[in-house]
Amino acid sequence: MNEKIKAEVKRNEGKMIAFRRDLHTHPELSWQEIRTTNHVVTELERMGIPYRRMEPTGVVAELVGNKPGKVVALRADMDALPVEELNETLDYKSQNDGKMHACGHDAHTAMLLCAAEALVAVRDDFAGTVRFIFQPAEEITEGAEAMIEQGAMEGVDNVFGIHIWSQMVTNTISCNTGPVFASADVVEIKFTGRGGHGAMPDACIDATVVAAAFVMGAQAIVSRETDPLEPAVFTIGRMESGTRYNVIAEHAILEGTVRSFHPRVREKMERAIRRYAQQVAATYGATAEVHYRYGTHAVINEVDSALFAQRVIVDSFGESMLYSDRPTTAGEDFSYYLQEAPGCFALVGSGNPDKDTEWAHHHGHFNVDEDALVYGAELYAQYAYTYLTENPE
């Protein structure tokens, strides 16, 4: 644990909070983070850290130590969500209607900038390079791949990321080995029957009935075809059928998502959904088209990196800060970075009932306990500093 890093983060806490609130006031959706990118660049220029703008948004910056060595990457995402903010009393409430930092990415960006400033103060004490990745478009799971395609992970030896987590109380940090976030796939199913008059169902094949039968029965794929010790989630979030109250629907379209932690479960779910859709359709004399798109991979923390992060957490904040949270079936495109280099992903608790910050992510009342920001910023910096000093070549 580096005491100078701790002091620098604390010294810049107010600046970090102000930056986070500014981003919160002016949220930008995926691939629209132009103002956010410009503000990050302004801060990097102030610190004297060389950077490269990515296309169309995002930034990669590098801080080089006293001599060449390993490269450790720190990642923060920057995009907001198409959510209407419901926190009416906040001085920094979103000014952009229908847009909100409802997942904490404003905090992530502010924490990483604060960590960068702390690392500038100790750059003469470590060998190697810290690469700062300010990533757009995480919410639509496109940003990480785009950053990687533009070279963000070239030469990286280890990668580390953080997510503010309202489901954990402030003053806790979790970085377990193994699964942390699930893979997140998208399913679209189109059932085609034969439309007709609502008074003459015998002359038709009702696509609405077919779709309803699929929705009601498909959970058996999870409950009866997957190992109960290997979780899976199959959710139908959208169903569209019919055009008028007295017209039997010819088509019904379902959209849903599949979440799992293991590739074999993911593959089995896809096969079962395709089979089930075809067989349900055949039962009613209809047909089914299934489009299954693989989204983000599961975030699986590499064992050595996660154990290293746990040690950094304990050294920096004490044993009481380390918490073991359960994996979540939410998705995170940080998984793509872990396909490129070993690393891990930590959750920094920000739930505080006294500050009303226990709302679920993506909710209009979501907010962050800003006391958690110093922990996230210091963890970013201490992880990079410790990694480079313990792995000088």
Question: Is 103 a known ligand-binding residue?
Answer: yes
Render pLDDT for 250-301 as a digit per residue (tens, 0 to 9).
Answer: 999 999 999 999 999 999 999 999 999 999 999 999 999 999 999 999 999 9
Q: Give the predicted TM-score (pTM) of the model.
A: 0.92
**32 pLDDT exceeds 80?**
yes
Render pLDDT for 210-237 as a digit per residue (tens, 0 to 9).
Answer: 999 999 999 999 999 999 999 999 999 9
Question: Is 363 a known ligand-binding residue?
Answer: no
Label residues 315-349 b or e (16+ Cβ within 10 Å = b).
ebbeeebbbebebbbbbbbbbbbbeebbbbbbbbb
Question: Is 88 a known ligand-binding residue?
Answer: no
Query: Which residues does residue 248 pair with via DSSP β-bridges, in sequence order?
Result: 196
Query: What one-character-per-residue DSSP string does 294-350 give?
Result: EEEPPEEE-HHHHHHHHHHHHHHH-GGGB--PPPBS---TTHHHHTTS-EEEEEEEE
**319 pLDDT exceeds 80?**
yes
pLDDT for the residue numbered 80: 97
**392 pLDDT exceeds 90?**
no
155 C-beta neighbours (distance < 10 Å), count = 11
**343 pLDDT exceeds 80?**
yes
Q: Which two tokens stand for residue 253?
A: 């379209």
> In the predicted model, what is the mean pLDDT of residues 380-384?
98
Q: Does domain 3-181+298-390 have CATH number 3.40.630.10?
A: yes
Q: What is the helix, strand, coil percentage profile of the chain, to 5?
A: 40, 25, 35
Distance CA 4, CA 167 (A): 31
**Among 312, 313, 248, 236, CA closest to 277:** 236
- How buried is 213 (Cβ within 10 angstroms: 0-12 exposed, 13-18 middle, 19+ buried)? middle
Pick 183-296's CATH classification: 3.30.470.10, 3.10.310.30, 3.20.20.120, 3.30.70.360.
Answer: 3.30.70.360
Distance CA 365, CA 358 (A): 9
Question: Is 163 a known ligand-binding residue?
Answer: yes
Q: What residue ranges do the domains of the chain occupy?
A: 3-181+298-390, 183-296
Dihedrals phi, psi of 64, to nearest 5 degrees: -100, 135
Mean per-residue pLDDT of the chain: 96
Q: Which of the four pLDDT bands, split at 50, 70 and 90, describes residue 1?
A: confident
In the numeric block, the tokens 């309202």 are attached to: 166
Label residues 23-56 b or e (16+ Cβ within 10 Å = b).
bbbbbbbbbbbeebbebbbebbeebebebeebee
Distance CA 261, CA 297 (A): 8
Distance CA 370, CA 80 (A): 18
359 C-beta neighbours (distance < 10 Å), count = 17
Render pLDDT for 41-89 as a digit per residue (tens, 0 to 9).
Answer: 999 999 999 999 999 999 999 999 999 999 999 999 999 999 999 999 9
Q: Which of the four pLDDT bands, split at 50, 70 and 90, describes residue 187?
A: very high
CB 66 within 8 A of CB 125: yes
Question: Is 362 a known ligand-binding residue?
Answer: yes
214 three-state secondary structure: helix
Q: Which of the four pLDDT bands, split at 50, 70 and 90, describes residue 393?
A: confident
Measured at the CA of 41, the angle between CA 385 and CA 136, to 5 degrees, comes to 85
